[in-house]
């Protein structure tokens, strides 16, 4: 029986609640599909700062690197807002992505039929949305140097650098084109080439990679226009390829098309090592501990872990099917509630999905 080593990072805020529900489902699915999961928990984010003054302790990093896949809930809390930058939860996440060289972040956004009414957009605009944001994750302005906050002659200044090398753009473009092959074959690269040199290089590189993919239709949009098009006509998009910062912003926007950011999973991968699978949403400290968080983004992240990280395709399909069954039955956490739906908490949502899994 195959045995996979999974590292789970519950993190902060609602992390514990949604992790509990998700790990129960993973255990159920592994016994159903006859593989073993060797699950270990590690400290990460705010909870690691509290214990070790470090959001990414070395033990956590080493376990992640030695695993087959990493499942993360969420990190962050206002409690650390005034900490020095390297002692904030977010810095741990950026270091983890960088240390594991997870340069490709995949954020699929697909409308679920049962949730058409939960979106703030009209159903006719979102009913056919099925897009994938491919975000570059280990470069750009998030990591560019020089960066600093300085004070000279009583004037405070701060700066960051948005920088990309050709090889960083080429490898993320290649991933996006490859993923496009099994989809509608439309790739839209998003940049700000009318203003930024770094975007001009981005566009040149994407154009040159596109020559290897004659079957895929490539278009380019400026990021301001793309933000508008996502609301105006979201079903025009198949794969959106973009840089770290633009992808951060556009993926939150795209998440809302489906009704709640509580639905959106993500996978961060490279070409060979273990991947990191995490919901797009944050740790939501304001609702932590109340059993009202939506665990579905983390459950769907676990499904991406099964599909992309472990190649357990049938198990991933089952998990997604179980989620759809529960939504079709009308069960909703408070973030998704609309007329004629039944309100459940985080735990109960997990139980309902578990029941559906047993019925498949
Ligand atoms: C995300 C988050 C992170 C990011 C934060 C928590 C550092 O917003 O994964 O989208 O900006 O990448
Ligand atoms: Mg974000």
For residue 258, the model assigns a pLDDT of 84
Same domain, 162 and 222: yes
Going by alpha carbons, the residue nearest to atom 12 of ligand 1 is 248
Same domain, 239 and 269: no
Going by alpha carbons, the residue nearest to atom 8 of ligand 1 is 248
Residues with CB under 6 A from ligand 1: 76, 90, 93-94, 248, 280
For residue 237, the model assigns a pLDDT of 98
Question: 233-245, pLDDT tens digit by residue?
Answer: 999 999 999 999 9
Q: Round to whole Å and give the CA distance between 315 and 307.
A: 8
For residue 105, which atom of ligand 1 is closest to its CA?
9
Beta bridge partners of residue 242, listed in sequence order: 135, 190
Q: Round to whole Å and give the CA distance between 167 and 178.
A: 16
281 domain-assigned: yes
What's the 88 CA to ligand 1 centre distance in angstroms? 13
115 domain-assigned: no
207 domain-assigned: yes
Same domain, 214 and 303: no
Q: Evaluate if residue 338 carries a pLDDT over 90.
A: no
For this structure, is 331 an active site residue?
no
Same domain, 196 and 231: yes
Same domain, 268 and 138: no
161 domain-assigned: yes
Q: Kind of pairing, strands 331-332 and 130-136?
A: unpaired
Domain of 246, CATH number, reads 3.40.718.10
For this structure, is 215 an active site residue?
no
**Mean pLDDT across 159-180:** 98
Where in the sequence is the domain holding 317, given as residue range(s)?
A: 1-108+260-360
Domain endpoint, select from 233, 258, 283? 258
Beta bridge partners of residue 5, listed in sequence order: 38
Same domain, 59 and 156: no
Q: Round to whole Å and give the CA distance between 324 and 297.
A: 13
Going by alpha carbons, the residue nearest to atom 4 of ligand 1 is 248
Same domain, 275 and 333: yes
Q: Percent of the chain having pLDDT more than 70?
A: 100
For residue 97, which atom of ligand 1 is closest to its CA?
12
- The catalytically annotated residue of 43, 68, 80, 192 is 192
Can you point out the beta strands (E) in 235-323?
239-242, 265-269, 275-279
Q: Evaluate if residue 214 carries a pLDDT over 90.
A: yes
Q: How many residues in the chain? A: 360
- The catalytically annotated residue of 4, 54, 80, 142 is 142
What's the 305 CA to ligand 1 centre distance in angstroms? 19
- The catalytically annotated residue of 16, 24, 235, 252 is 252
Is residue 349 within 8 Å of residue 307, measured between CB atoms? no
For residue 252, which atom of ligand 1 is closest to its CA?
10
98 domain-assigned: yes
For residue 248, which atom of ligand 1 is closest to its CA?
10
Token pair of 43 as six digits: 């400290």
Q: How confident is the model at residue 125 (pLDDT cuts 50, 70, 90)?
A: very high
Tell me the three state secondary structure of residue 120: coil
For this structure, is 224 an active site residue?
yes
What's the 212 CA to ligand 1 centre distance in angstroms? 32
Beta bridge partners of residue 135, listed in sequence order: 105, 242
Going by alpha carbons, the residue nearest to atom 9 of ligand 1 is 280
What's the 296 CA to ligand 1 centre distance in angstroms? 18
80 domain-assigned: yes
- More confident call, 215 vs 117: 215
**Mean pLDDT across 287-292:** 97
Domain endpoint, select from 223, 258, 293? 258
114 domain-assigned: no
**Mean pLDDT across 39-47:** 97
Q: Evaluate if residue 318 carries a pLDDT over 90.
A: yes
Going by alpha carbons, the residue nearest to atom 11 of ligand 1 is 248
Q: Evaluate if residue 118 carries a pLDDT over 90.
A: no
Q: Evaluate if residue 256 carries a pLDDT over 90.
A: no
What's the 329 CA to ligand 2 centre distance in angstroms? 30
293 domain-assigned: yes
Q: How confident is the model at residue 24 (pLDDT cuts 50, 70, 90)?
A: very high
């Amino acid at each position: 029986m195959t045995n996979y080593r999974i590292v789970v990072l519950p993190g902060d805020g609602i992390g514990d609640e949604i992790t509990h529900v998700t790990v129960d489902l993973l255990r159920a699915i592994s016994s159903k599909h006859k593989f073993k999961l060797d699950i270990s928990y590690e400290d990460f984010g705010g909870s690691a700062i509290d214990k070790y003054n470090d959001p990414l302790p070395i033990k956590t990093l080493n376990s992640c690197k030695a695993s087959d896949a990493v499942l993360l809930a969420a990190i962050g809390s206002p409690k650390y807002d005034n900490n020095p930058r390297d002692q904030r939860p977010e810095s741990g996440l950026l270091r983890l992505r960088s240390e594991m060289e997870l340069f490709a972040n995949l954020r699929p956004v697909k409308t679920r039929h049962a949730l058409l009414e939960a979106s703030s957009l009209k159903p006719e605009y979102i009913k056919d949305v099925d897009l994938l944001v491919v975000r570059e994750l280990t470069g750009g302005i998030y990591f560019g140097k020089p960066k600093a906050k300085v004070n000279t002659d009583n004037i405070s200044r701060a700066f960051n650098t948005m920088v990309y090398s050709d090889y960083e753009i080429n490898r993320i473009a290649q991933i996006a084109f490859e993923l496009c092959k099994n989809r509608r074959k439309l790739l839209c690269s998003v940049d700000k080439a009318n203003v930024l040199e770094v975007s001009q290089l981005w566009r040149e590189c994407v154009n040159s990679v596109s020559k290897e993919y004659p079957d895929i239709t490539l278009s380019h949009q400026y990021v301001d226009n793309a933000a508008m098009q996502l609301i105006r006509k979201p079903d025009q998009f198949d794969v959106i390829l973009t840089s770290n910062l633009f992808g951060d912003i556009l993926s939150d926007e795209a998440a809302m098309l489906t009704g709640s950011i509580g639905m959106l999973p993500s996978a961060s991968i490279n070409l060979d090592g273990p991947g990191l699978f995490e919901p797009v949403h944050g740790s939501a400290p304001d609702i932590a501990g109340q059993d009202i968080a939506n665990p579905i983004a983390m459950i769907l992240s676990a499904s991406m872990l099964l599909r992309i990280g472990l190649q357990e395709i049938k198990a991933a399909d089952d998990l997604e099917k179980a989620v759809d069954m529960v939504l079709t039955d009308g069960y909703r956490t408070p973030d998704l509630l609309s007329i004629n739906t039944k309100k459940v908490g985080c735990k109960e949502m997990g139980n309902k999905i578990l029941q559906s899994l047993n019925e498949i």
